Amino acid sequence: MNIVLTDREADVMQILWDHGPSTVTEVREHLNDDLAYTTVLTILRVLETKGYVSHEEEGRVHRYLASVQQQAARKSALRHLTSKMFKGSSELLFTHLVSDQKLSPEQVRRLRKLLATKSEKEKL
């Protein structure tokens, strides 16, 4: 599934992933920006139209919940970024991330371990 989110949609999805099913008012309370109720409602309805969010009725209010997993959205975003900015090369993306960041020795150790584990799995 190809999941495409605008920045605002990603902000709203992050709230649903972090806090679980939420009303429009609850989403607004967690946003960093002070958006109007109707703006947040519109974003949630667009996400619902895209199939990324669903809702349950609770009396007069709707409680919105994420229909896609955060991990699936991350994978989709990385595929898109890799395709558009790194000519489809995961190696180019990884090289850029590692060379452009100030990584601690612990982070480098974890990355090496991850690469070694990946390499071992591919040998099997």
pLDDT score recorded for residue 97: 84
Tokens linked to 54: 């669903």
Residue-wise pLDDT for 55-103, tens only, equals: 999 999 999 999 999 999 999 999 999 999 999 999 999 888 888 778 8
The domain made up of 7-66 is a member of CATH 2.70.98.10: no
pLDDT score recorded for residue 3: 93
Is the pTM for the entire model greater than 0.75?
Answer: yes
Helix (H) or strand (E) holding 63: strand 61-66
Q: Compute the average pLDDT of residues 17-28.
A: 98
118 vs 52: which has the higher pLDDT: 52
pLDDT score recorded for residue 75: 94
The torsion region of residue 72 among left (phi > 0), alpha (psi -120 to 50) and beta comes to alpha
Give the domain ranges of the chain.
7-66, 90-124
